[in-house]
Amino acid sequence: MRLSATLQLHVAVLLFGTAGLMGKLVDLPAMQLVLGRTLIGACALALFMLLRKRDNLGRWWPAGTNTTLAIPLALSGVVLVVHWWSFFYAIQLAGVGVALVGFSAFPVFVTALEALFQKRMVRAFDGFMTSLVVFGLWLVAPDIDWHNSAFQGLAWGVISGALFAVLALQNRALVRVFGGIRLGFWQQGMAGLCCLLVMGPSLAHIELGVGDIAKLLVLGVVLTAVPHVLFIASLKHIGAHTAAIITSLEPIYGIALAWLLLADQPALTTLLGAAIILSAVVLTQRYQVVRQTDRQSKDSA
């Protein structure tokens, strides 16, 4: 029985949120986690593309596309590596809850970057929502001291969110050419290659047990490739506003699962900060829908 598009999206977001738990479950450095996730994820998406070889998705490179696009594609792979590395590193430093709250601030960076690239002033409403997000982060933050691992974790979580915003803006252009599944394959493949180049000679000293390999397979296939496919498929039937709201639930899912499965109970201030940030995200998305509707009404008048 096929899942509805809304349920597909919720399952995808739930699985993406679960990926953060691997930062605690797998006793490996963050870069090794990213290496395993990207290479296994790329292989799983490649297999999916092979199974779809009867249609255009089976093409490894979009027909008629200039190979110079390999440069921005490679750059997006680099951003993906640093985003995932900072994400796992934040979790290892401060726990799932604090790191995910820091990451959840990414819509603020999307708004700021859009204003920068479009050469316009940030709207007053966006400024107010940004202030709410900063207040939410302040509630979560421990002593503002870089020697405090919890504060470092929150900071790296915010950095991960900022890099995710950059990646999201890059993908807006790339997905029109490559499509979602193909873009995921190339992006993760290039990210894996980047990890190999960064790690270099240290690769020879990696020691993985059977349990580590099994967890990396779950991370790469079940928590990366599968939700990627579900996410792309659901977007064909769900509006951008609804998709954005559901996607913003990822930190909530991750915090709840860490609480249930790892006994990683967040502090009350962490929950309050997460609630404030989530509220700001939802209000921002709603505001954007209203503005877009008003513009369309004026254009049709």
Q: With 80 as the cut, is the pLDDT of residue 40 above it?
A: yes
- 107 C-beta neighbours (distance < 10 Å), count: 25
Three-state SS at 129: helix
Whether 126 contacts 280, CB under 8 Å: no
Q: How many CA atoms lie within 13 A of 237 on its CB side?
A: 11
264 φ/ψ sector (left φ>0, alpha ψ -120 to 50, else beta): beta
pTM to 2 decimals?
0.83
Q: Which residue has the higher pLDDT, 98 or 301?
A: 98
Arithmetic mean of pLDDT, 33-44: 93
Distance CA 253, CA 10 (A): 10
- According to the model, what pLDDT value does residue 78 have? 94
How many helices, marked H, and strands, marked E, lie in the chain? 14, 0
Which residue, 225, 93, 221, 109, is CA-closest to 159? Answer: 109
- 60 C-beta neighbours (distance < 10 Å), count: 10
Three-state SS at 260: helix
- According to the model, what pLDDT value does residue 301 have? 56
Distance CA 231, CA 10 (A): 9
Whether 196 contacts 34, CB under 8 Å: no
What tens digit of pLDDT does each residue of 123-139 get?
Answer: 777 777 778 887 778 77
Distance CA 129, CA 127 (A): 5
Which residue, 156, 187, 177, 171, is CA-closest to 39? Answer: 187
